Amino acid sequence: MAVNIKTNDKTQKPLFEEIDFIGYDKAIILNKPKLLEMINAAGNEVSLSALREKIFTLRGQLSTIKTDREGLLNIGINGDTIQINQKYLFGELKQIVEAQTLDRSKYYLHRLAKAVAEQKTNKINDLNLNRWKEYDDILTDSLWVLDKRDSSGVHKADYWGNFIPQIPNQMMKRYTKKGEWVLDTFAGCGTTLIEAQRLGRNCVGIELQPNVVKTANDLIWSELNRFNTTNEVIKADSANIDYEKLLQKYRQNSVQLLIMHPPYFDIIKFSDDPRDLSNAKTVNDFLAMMGQIVRKASAVLDKGRYFALVIGDKYSKGEWIPLGFLTMQEVLKCGFTLKSIIVKNFEETLGKRNQKDLWRYRALVGGFYIFKHEYIFLFKRK
């Protein structure tokens, strides 16, 4: 299909064929100086048609190795390279040729040259903000409707109460750099640590139940550790562990991201251990235990860095208990700024599966709505 360009000239043909992006949405490695040379050469043109011609040539060169006469796809052993998303790059080229004036076209060209030449990152992640359009996978809205759990590799759905891997994945991509350290105080079967290992982050997890600790470590260690990071779940009580001492084991003084996915009070009983937060006697006891864990763990979180709390509400004796917001208030007493409240959907849990009709009936009788969401509260340490 061809693109219709808004123009007064009715005879003008479409300039750029719409690319069927299927198969193009992948990273390609290019010869960076060559790419810049071609972009800059187009930028030196004095007419719009000559500039467009140069961009057509560039796109032709990029399409297949056979048409690559300039050596764009030809990477020397010590050559300077750039890894770039092909869909993003083609989208930028399309915008350049579709611009209606030479100035506008040059403006887009200049922006592309900058994105290729310069790395603009901030202190808390590795995202190159000059190429922000490439990050289709990074969520920025406060409503997350994720239809499928990532079940790749060793990720398993069978630990009752684990979260979907996309949660720690999103958090680490946005709030950590490669090689940094993450702390998960309720590690469960190690979802955060598996993701951390894949993303090149180090992660220490704490979990109370010895059998769960073993399962988590077996899973983590059975996956390829491409970036040679440290990822380990320790058996301990998050409320009473000495966090400084724990980190010393890894020659660290602090972590750069804190993730907590506690029991949602007593919705799922994880064990008989009285230290287990799912065995708290009352909501207030639960909140006091959470407060203690947040205070202790946040002492090893670097200032200005993020804390993601994943939690849902509960329903008890005919009343909706806003556990999420109550816990959020506890955290706000511990020196944090609230940055976002993300609402995330969930489909039926293992517990509620096969009970859909029963819950719908209960909801209709009881005048309430069935939980289909949980929260990710995002805080920044002051």
Ligand X SMILES: C[S@@+](CC[C@H](N)C(=O)[O-])C[C@H]1O[C@@H](n2cnc3c(N)ncnc32)[C@H](O)[C@@H]1O
Q: Which residues bind ligand X (CB under 6 A)?
A: 159, 161-163, 186, 188-189, 191, 206-209, 212, 237-239, 261-263, 270-271, 275-277
Q: How far apart are CA 225 and CA 13, in angstroms?
A: 52
CB contact at 8 A, 150 and 169: yes
Q: Which is nearer to ligand X, 271 or 340 (CB)?
A: 271
Residue 315 to residue 331: CA distance in whole angstroms: 22
Distance in angstroms (rounded) separating the CA atoms of residues 259 and 361: 36
User: Which residue of the chain is nearest ligand X when measured via CB?
Assistant: 188
User: Whose Cβ is closer to ligand X: residue 97's or residue 308's?
Assistant: 308
Choice between 149 and 380, CB closer to ligand X: 149
CB of 323 to ligand X, least distance (A): 12
Spatial separation of the C-alpha atoms in residues 381 and 255, rounded to whole Å: 12
Q: How far apart are the first and last CA of the chain?
A: 52
Nearer residue to ligand X within complex by CB, 52 or 174:
174
In angstroms, give the least distance from the CB of 212 to ligand X.
Answer: 5
Q: Shortest distance, CB of residue 234 to ligand X, whole angstroms? A: 9
- What letters, b where the CB count within 10 A reaches 16 and e where it falls short, cover 262-271? bbbbbbeebe
Q: How far is the CB of 296 from ligand X (least distance, A)?
A: 11
**Are 131 and 84 a contacting pair, CB within 8 Å?**
yes
- Are the beta carbons of 273 and 208 closer than 8 angstroms? yes
**Between 110 and 156, CB nearer to ligand X:** 156
